[in-house]
């Protein structure tokens, strides 16, 4: 998911430089959303891993 966020960020920056500010801004907005979702999922899985690890041991 971070890969997709980076792709959208780069495309948004390129489109912004070429003068397509509206769609470039939309791409950057999508990149922000994907980044936040990726971080949230990472934190969720870290917490689940810690909780599950304690039950097994």
pLDDT of residue 52: 85
The whole-number average pLDDT for the span 3-17 is: 93
For residues 30 and 11, give the distance between their C-alpha atoms in angstroms, rounded to a whole number.
11
Residue 20, Ramachandran bin (φ over 0: left; ψ between -120 and 50: alpha; else beta): beta
* Structural domain spans, the chain: 2-56
Which position has the higher pLDDT, 17 or 55? 17
pLDDT of residue 56: 57
pLDDT digit string, tens, across residues 14-40: 999 999 989 999 999 999 999 999 999
């Amino acid at each position: 998911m971070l890969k997709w966020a980076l792709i959208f960020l780069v495309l948004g920056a390129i489109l912004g430089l070429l003068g397509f500010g509206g769609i470039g801004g939309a791409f950057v907005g999508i990149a922000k959303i994907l980044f936040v979702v990726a971080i949230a999922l990472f934190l969720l899985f870290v917490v689940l891993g810690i909780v599950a690890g304690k039950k097994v041991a």
